Chains A and B, each alone.
Chain A
Amino acid sequence: MSSTLLTSKHVTYIQSLDIKRDRLDYHLTSHLRLSGIYWGLTSLHLLNHPTALPRSETIAFVKSCYHPSSGGLGASPGHDPHLLYTLSGIQILATIDALDEIDGGKVVEYVSKLQNPDGSFSGDEWGEVDSRFVYCALSTLSLLGRLGDAPGVSVEGAVGFVLRCLNADGGFGMAPAAESHAGQIFTCVGTLKIAGVFEKSLSEDQVNLLGDWLCERQLPNGGLNGRPEKLEDVCYSWWVLSSMAMIGRLHWIDREKLVEFILSCQDEENGGIADRKGDVADVFHTVFGLAGLSLLGYEGLSEVDPVYCMPREVTNRIVWNRRKTPTS
């Protein structure tokens, strides 16, 4: 079991992802390819290897997922547009400073059309509603610098919807009345942060309650789970930890034990991080493991922005520095 971060192995692992075409999983996961590239790219930036993926090919792939008729992006060429992949595409372009490669106005149009009268957003034209999609919408708009003036978008309505997802245990669910879940807490707190209304939306009691719920997610082995009475999983090193960072309660858990847990989930032979020790690594758990380590101040990693899950240097450049009053 490794007690240090295997940086060069992880870089090689991510670079090799696109050539594993002789494995069935590669083909079965084309429905999330664009997100996969965002996870890989973000991992490489956090590992301080920002140019390890070929820039022009990355841009070309993002553009091949773009639907000029609607303005949305799908997961792979030929896949339907969806807010999940629209955000991934914009995150990729923002990270490599290539937002001008795409018609941002058209993307804004796509996002705007998906807002419902109750403030929520549907994931696509088929109408599934989830607090995750509010986050996708607001994150996309803000990365495009269009949060304040997206035609037809009510940020206030979006915030209202998210606050209706707040529960008595301090957490947030996927819709009003739905049980609290760490992933949903990240998206809801993130939405409030992006909208710049977090501080005035929750009372101190509510923040403490949320912080308490979040810190109780740490299990004796150091790992974090996503809901009470569930197993630990590396991805919650992001969903739980980013939320704790956003509400200023990172010090409520045991840093060393969590670092140790994440490191123990590395594949020492081939690189990459798995959900749990001894399992197959994948790029999803790799990025969330690395981002978690970054929040914990692990040496040698670039700083991650807990609101956007992107390199801090990028979000400072295109979001925070452009705001008159920084909110995060």
Chain B
Amino acid sequence: MASHGISRSEYAAQSRDEHRREKELKKIEEYNQLAGAVQEQRLARRYTLDALEGTTRLLRLNPEYYTIWNYRREILQQTLLVKFPSPEIALSSNSASTRTHLGVDEVDQDPEEVGRSLRAAYDSKATLHLKEELTFLLPLLSSFPKCYWIWNHRRWTLQRATEILPDDKADIFWQEELGLVGLMLRRDVRNFHGWMYRRSVISSIESPRRENVSNDGAENSSPRNTSLVEQEFAYTTKMVQGIGGMSNYSAWHNRSKLIPRLLSERKCGRQERMDFLEDELELLKRNISTNPHDQSLWFYHYWLIYSNTITPDRDAPDAISPFMSRGTKLLMLAAEIDTLQDLLEAHAECKYILKALVEYVGLLQRVRKDPKDPEDDEEDEEWAEDDEKKKREDMRAWLARLISIDSMRKGRYQEILRGLEY
């Protein structure tokens, strides 16, 4: 019903092949039988290991069947991943079955001692079952890396670890998960589910988690706040420096999201922020000069330039160096424009260089006219007027070239061109 990338001729060949058709009809029958049986058990509210096995088989055939994932969670919550009963219940007489289930039979021991061994036995069983669940999901994720429901179920399983295990034991699960995401992202550096999931694992590790979890007898609930922003920033550096990494739009994007927090956590002052910006621009300059046709680099470059030159109406949490004077901004823009003009000589037909030139000259003019920047100098103004005229002519020439080499987007360029007349 929503198929991607399946060849029509291949599909038609399948339909003509009698033998394959027969096999398909058999598969349909088997699938419908299994799906019917699992749905029936759900309606009968059966939460048993047998029913769980049914969901395992069905989800392997069809991981998009979201209702069955819901059913699986309901079963797990009531069987293998049930919460540890509170100490009073665990020790009361009617919990004998729980004890037997956990393999603890020492009825005559000191109640506290019994409580501790019950808890330890519970923890190790729960850990085992959580691991089994994650192991079940791994091959599914590898085969269906774009299936939302599998990622959701994996996140749920880890959250369940947080809910039913003591902090230190749950932490191990989250830490190990980072390793898995790393692996997934190495296989597909652009999988946005993978990146999304990575950010959610990171924020789970970073934030104090116990406050939302109902009291289930877990000790040691002191909240912590461990920032991983340095580690994650280093991860993006590693990603963009890997083979073909500079084309990794996802990594550059994540970098742009991490930097504001990174600088604030480093408690960077003006000079440090300025230095940071210069380092980033230098990194980009190196990459762009070797690969000027890479959109990812240009997106990041534009972000660096724009967010640090234009003072937005609202707060600007984005700017790396928000305290630059008008003069400094103009110098930065002029330097970038010079570099790009040099680059253009070697790559006359590169539309990204031309687009950036048009944008940055536009920014230069805006910064110059910005009344919010208090740095007026007569001499500067005169020079500006001459320069302005020259730059407007340059812009017209660049836009004309853009219209001819990137004609699909000529509507965009013509619009900018018209804006220049006035």
Contacts and interface: CB of A to CB of B under 8 A. Distances in A.
Interface of A: 17, 22-33, 36, 74-75, 78-80, 82, 124, 126, 128, 167-169, 173-175, 177-181, 203, 205, 211-212, 215-216, 218, 220, 222, 227-230, 233, 249, 251-254, 257, 267, 274-276, 278-285
Nearest to B24: A24
B136 interface: no
Given A169-B253, A203-B312, A24 B412 contact: no
B73 interface: yes
A169 B192 CA distance: 16
Contacts of A212: 412
Contacts of A178: 192, 195-196, 199
Contacts of B32: 27
Given A128-B152, A179-B195, A280-B3, 19 more contacts: A17-B1, A24-B28, A24-B31, A25-B1, A31-B65, A32-B1, A33-B1, A126-B70, A179-B250, A181-B192, A203-B312, A205-B306, A215-B409, A227-B192, A228-B296, A229-B247, A233-B4, A251-B411, A280-B11
A259 to B, nearest CB: 13
Given A27-B31, A126-B73, A267-B8, A279 B3 contact: yes
Most B C-beta atoms less than 10 A away, residue of A25, A179, A281: A179
22 contacts: A22-B24, A26-B1, A31-B65, A33-B1, A75-B67, A80-B66, A126-B156, A167-B253, A167-B257, A173-B192, A178-B196, A179-B249, A205-B310, A215-B409, A220-B408, A227-B192, A227-B249, A228-B295, A228-B299, A229-B295, A279-B3, A280-B3
A249 B411 CA distance: 9
A288 B73 CA distance: 34
A211 B412 contact: yes
B320 to A, nearest CB: 12
B34 to A, nearest CB: 11
Given A229-B190, A252-B409, A27 B199 contact: no
A274 B62 contact: no
B398 interface: no
Contacts of A29: 1-2, 64
Interface string B226-242: 00000000000000000
B199 A177 contact: yes
Interface in B99-149: 148
Contact of A180 (B61, B253, B313): B253
B8 A278 contact: yes
A229 B250 CA distance: 10
B2 A32 contact: yes
B73 A274 contact: no
B3 A215 contact: no
Contacts of A275: 3-5
Given A128-B148, A168-B318, A252 B411 contact: yes
Contacts of A177: 199, 254, 257
B222 interface: no
A80 B2 contact: no
Given A228-B249, A228-B299, A229-B296, A280 B6 contact: yes
A31 B192 contact: no
Q: What does DSSP make chain A's interface, helix, strand, loop or mixed?
A: loop
A229 B8 contact: no
A267 B8 CA distance: 9
A278 B190 CA distance: 26
Interface in B3-44: 3-9, 11, 24-25, 27-28, 31-32, 35, 39, 43
B56 interface: no
B303 interface: yes
A28 B299 contact: no
Q: Which 9 A-B pairs have the closest CB atoms?
A: A284-B2, A254-B408, A29-B1, A251-B411, A252-B412, A168-B303, A280-B6, A80-B67, A79-B67
B199 A28 contact: no
A178 B257 CA distance: 9
Nearest to A206: B312
A50 B411 CA distance: 35
Contacts of A74: 67
Given A212-B412, A267-B8, A274-B8, A31 B66 contact: yes
Contacts of B64: 28-29, 31-32
A33 B66 CA distance: 13
Interface string B156-182: 100000000000000000000000000
B70 A276 contact: no
A251 B247 CA distance: 28
Contacts of A79: 66-67
Contacts of B73: 126
A177 B190 CA distance: 15
B365 interface: no
A77 B66 CA distance: 13
Nearest to B409: A215
A274 B295 CA distance: 27
A180 B257 CA distance: 12
A281 B4 CA distance: 9
B249 A22 contact: no
A25 to B, nearest CB: 7
Given A280-B8, A284-B1, A168 B25 contact: no
Contacts of B318: 168
Contacts of B7: 278-280
B249 A80 contact: no
A279 B10 CA distance: 9
A111 B276 CA distance: 46
A26 to B, nearest CB: 8
Most B C-beta atoms less than 10 A away, residue of A25, A177, A275: A177
Contacts of A251: 411
Given A279-B5, A279-B6, A28 B62 contact: yes
B256 interface: yes
B338 to A, nearest CB: 24
B107 to A, nearest CB: 40
B291 interface: no
Nearest to B294: A229
